[in-house]
């Protein structure tokens, strides 16, 4: 199994176990469904949930079910709180069932609470917690145990969760034993590493570092240790 496939399975399972599609809170036959979607980058093949980082836009949507059927909230008073701070209420209109937030710096999760006032004489409350992560870059190595032969070996770096639309908005740098590698024509995210006359068991420290030029804190790196056969 390559690191890429492991990444899909691990994060998809982790998110489903810890965070799920959204959040549900039942009061008798009433059930809140709160979903959220981060507007940042993950490769098209990625099967997990795209996770927000500081500075990400996150769309949050609310639905209320009564005995499994959607409730018309268009005329209801709905208040939205982010980390216990009121951000939208009836002054902004009735029936507000969606919210866009920007993840602040220094957060590892965001609490979004919705309150529906005067529903059957009571206030219905629901909170969903949105995890905040750091951007990542993963080196996809197709070689078992990262053991390579002399000659040409090919690697690919894959970025996750940066606040970009396309990975071409990032810069990528490869280092092999602290020496710059790659830099030729073609896809900068792929490295063709040529090794000659190296003894069996020799180690190579391969590092990929990605950075968003427009985001001072948006950077990530990974290193793997290659071993000559």
| Domain boundary, last residue among 79, 99, 131 | 131
Q: Name the CA radius of gyration of the chain, rounded.
A: 23
Provide the β-strand partners of residue 122.
119
Kindly state the DSSP code that residue 146 receives in the 8-state scheme.
G
Task: Based on the fold, state whether residues 101 and 169 are members of the same structural domain.
Answer: no
Task: Based on the fold, state whether residues 101 and 29 are members of the same structural domain.
Answer: yes
**CATH number of the domain that residue 202 is part of:** 2.60.40.10
The rounded distance, in Å, linking the Cα atoms of 222 and 149 is: 22
Spell out the residues 6+ positions from residue 95 whose beta carbon is closer than 8 angstroms to its own: 73, 74, 75, 76, 78
Task: Based on the fold, state whether residues 125 and 141 are members of the same structural domain.
Answer: no
The rounded distance, in Å, linking the Cα atoms of 55 and 40 is: 10
The rounded distance, in Å, linking the Cα atoms of 78 and 61 is: 12
Task: Based on the fold, state whether residues 86 and 173 are members of the same structural domain.
Answer: no
Task: Based on the fold, state whether residues 90 and 140 are members of the same structural domain.
Answer: no
The rounded distance, in Å, linking the Cα atoms of 229 and 193 is: 15
Task: Based on the fold, state whether residues 122 and 158 are members of the same structural domain.
Answer: no
Task: Based on the fold, state whether residues 105 and 13 are members of the same structural domain.
Answer: yes
Q: Containing domain of residue 48, as a range?
A: 3-131
| Domain boundary, last residue among 97, 131, 165 | 131
Task: Based on the fold, state whether residues 112 and 142 are members of the same structural domain.
Answer: no
Q: Supply the pLDDT for residue 56.
A: 97
Q: Supply the pLDDT for residue 198.
A: 80
Task: Based on the fold, state whether residues 10 and 104 are members of the same structural domain.
Answer: yes
Q: Supply the pLDDT for residue 10.
A: 41
- Number of structural domains found in the chain: 2
Task: Based on the fold, state whether residues 109 and 25 are members of the same structural domain.
Answer: yes
Task: Based on the fold, state whether residues 147 and 224 are members of the same structural domain.
Answer: yes
Block mean pLDDT (10 aa), the chain, length 229:
44 42 55 96 96 97 96 97 97 98 93 96 96 98 96 96 96 96 83 89 96 92 96
Q: Supply the pLDDT for residue 197.
A: 76
| Domain boundary, last residue among 105, 131, 157 | 131
Decide: pTM greater than 0.75.
yes
Task: Based on the fold, state whether residues 115 and 11 are members of the same structural domain.
Answer: yes
């Amino acid at each position: 199994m390559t690191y890429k496939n492991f990444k899909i399975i691990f994060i998809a399972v982790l998110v489903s176990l810890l965070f799920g599609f959204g959040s549900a809170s039942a009061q008798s036959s009433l059930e809140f469904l709160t979903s959220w979607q981060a507007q940042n980058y993950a490769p098209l093949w990625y099967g997990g949930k795209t996770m927000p980082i500081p500075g990400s836009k996150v769309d949050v949507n609310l639905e209320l079910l009564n005995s499994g059927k959607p409730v018309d909230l268009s005329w209801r008073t709905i208040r939205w709180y982010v980390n216990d701070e009121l951000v939208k209420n009836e002054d902004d209109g009735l029936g507000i069932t969606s919210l866009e937030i920007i993840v602040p710096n220094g957060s590892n999760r965001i609490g979004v609470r919705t309150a529906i006032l005067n529903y059957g004489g009571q206030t219905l409350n629901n909170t969903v917690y949105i995890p905040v992560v750091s951007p990542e870059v993963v080196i996809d190595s197709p070689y078992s145990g990262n053991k390579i032969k002399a000659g040409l070996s090919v690697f690919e770096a894959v970025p996750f969760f940066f606040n970009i639309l396309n990975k071409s908005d990032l810069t990528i740098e490869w280092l092999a034993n602290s020496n710059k590698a790659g830099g030729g024509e073609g896809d900068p995210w792929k490295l063709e590493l040529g090794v000659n006359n190296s003894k069996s068991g020799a180690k190579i420290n391969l590092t990929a570092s990605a950075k968003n030029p427009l985001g001072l804190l948006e950077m990530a790196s990974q290193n793997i240790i290659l071993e000559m056969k």
